[in-house]
Amino acid sequence: MAASYPALAFVANRVLRMHATTCAAERNWSLWGNVYTKARNRLGKERAEKLIYIRGNSSALAIEREGLTEEEIVMRLLGDDEES
């Protein structure tokens, strides 16, 4: 099957061999800490969630604006620094 779909096999191998970490949770708490501060303690839940969504996805949007292919975007988000 890997011979039929080499790109999918490569991505699946990269994703499935990752170790479970708390990085996503730490990133989430960091975003909340940057948005919901002492100065913004009256910020509503819906507005805070929208701001966090925007900040959390801004890097993915910046990558998409570079005009990369879907495979290049996936590799960038997975942290692949090697050139193909």
pLDDT in tens, 26-55: 878 888 888 888 888 888 889 988 888 888
**14 sits in which H/E element:** helix 6-16
* Percent of the chain at pLDDT exceeding 90: 1
pLDDT class of 83 with cuts at 50, 70, 90: very low
Report the pLDDT value the prediction gives residue 46, as an integer from 0 to 100.
92
In the numeric block, the tokens 């292919």 are attached to 69
How far is residue 51's CA from residue 65's CA, in Å, rounded to a whole number? 20
Domain ranges for the chain, please list them. Answer: 43-77
CB 43 within 8 A of CB 30: no
Global pTM reads 0.47
